[in-house]
Amino acid sequence: MEGYLILSDGTIYQGISFGAETDQITEGEVVFNTGLTGFQELLTDPSYCGQIVTLTYPLVGNYGINTVDNESDRIQVKALVVRGAAHKPNHWQLAMSLPEFLKSQHIIGLEGIDTRALTRKIRNHGTMNGVICTGFRSEEELQVLVNKARETQGWEGQDLTALVSTSTPYVIHYSSVHGQIEDPFLEADLVESITPEYMESLDKLTSQGIYRVVVIDYGVKRNILRNLFALGCEVVVVPKHFSATEILQFKPSGILLSNGPGDPKDVVGAQETVQELIQQGIPLLGICLGHQILALALGGDTVKLKFGHRGGNHPVKNPEENKVYITSQNHGYVVVKDSLEPETFEIIAVNANDGTIEGFKHKTLPIMSIQYHPEGNPGPDDTGYHFGEFFQAMHKYYSEQI
């Protein structure tokens, strides 16, 4: 069946639809990702909420979809655009094909598109809104869709984190055999809702020297939670709207501000909550959107990039070590470099392509923040050490409390 992607500048791309069989017209911000693999993680990453994603790699889906690599409980992208989709994948973990995965969740896919030309357009003209549809359209109908794409307001000014954050808090319980558990989300008794009995046990767990991390869920990827669990931490995930008082009732040893979609300035109440948490002296770690929110709470500023950083192959340089790491990234906004006072903050990472800030540390408080995804492992494990640094900060904080 025919399918079309229409950009707000009037450009029309015709291809072949797969996935959802629907006449529904889907709107979204059109972005590109340069990763060679990881399409399942990308599709289920809440940071892509509201976006039509095109992949620059020409063949997508050749190892199919498995049951363990989802970053959330559903597909988050609005639609997927590729040069070619693999309809007969092969892999020992294979559960279904990419087209079957999209179809099962009513997401439109479009193949046969010149994704190189589409990517060049976005790079040259910047990210733009678009609409995608299935089924043949006449010239008159296409012109109507062009007008619709031009009138699309996109997601500017909306708090997208409200669409992807958990509605209620939950806990991933500490386990003494955590090193033998590959994925806590596959263990039914490890991930549970918060109960009164659990709240009564907080002091007991802390007295045993177990570090409890509270994750503010702006659209957290499961692999972040898996990494914290692998460190031997108890992980409490709370909704993005939780106040500082509600977060502190869990008596955290550390607080992580997660990734998520949209403009950090649109996340209602986030800056005020984080400012209150900073005053507590508890170790804080910001990742991606959480990094941007943390910078805003500390007096910095953020700005939207022309076409963003999305992919598993972005070089980041550590100025102090004079080393370059390959990182996984997915963001459209960055912290403005001159907005952070050099007397207070140390820049620990910059993008080797465009020089934008990729990470900073507070010089006197236990605060670290990174723009890239240390759990993404594209290198395959280049920047995973940040979780170890966070663990050491919690250890120091805990030692000072007893």
What ranges in 177-312 are assigned the alpha helix state H? 196-200, 202-207, 222-230, 244-248, 270-278, 289-297
From CA 236, how far away is CA 248, in angstroms rounded?
Answer: 11
From CA 58, how far away is CA 34, in angstroms rounded?
Answer: 10
Residue ranges for the chain with pLDDT beneath 70:
178-179, 377-380, 402
The pLDDT of residue 185 is 87
Quick check: 247 and 271 in contact, CB under 8 A? Answer: no
Both tokens of residue 354?
């465009």
| CA angle (322, 323, 328) in 5-degree steps | 140
How many CB atoms sit inside 10 A of residue 95's CB?
13
In order of their start, the domains of the chain are: 2-151 (3.50.30.20), 161-401 (3.40.50.880)
Rg (CA), the chain: 21
Query: Is 373 tagged catalytic?
Result: yes
Quick check: 271 and 297 in contact, CB under 8 A? Answer: yes
**Catalytic position from the list 29, 41, 71, 375:** 375
Query: Is 395 tagged catalytic?
Result: no
The pLDDT of residue 380 is 60
**Catalytic position from the list 133, 288, 358, 386:** 288
Query: Is 288 tagged catalytic?
Result: yes
The pLDDT of residue 8 is 94
Both tokens of residue 292?
């941007």
pTM: 0.95
Closest CA to 3 of 98, 119, 81: 81
From CA 272, how far away is CA 121, in angstroms rounded?
Answer: 38
State whether the Cα torsion 374-338-264-28 is positive or negative: negative
From CA 214, how far away is CA 347, in angstroms rounded?
Answer: 25
**Catalytic position from the list 291, 309, 314, 373:** 373
From CA 12, how far away is CA 69, in angstroms rounded?
Answer: 33
Cβ contacts of 392 within 8 Å, gap of 6 or more = none
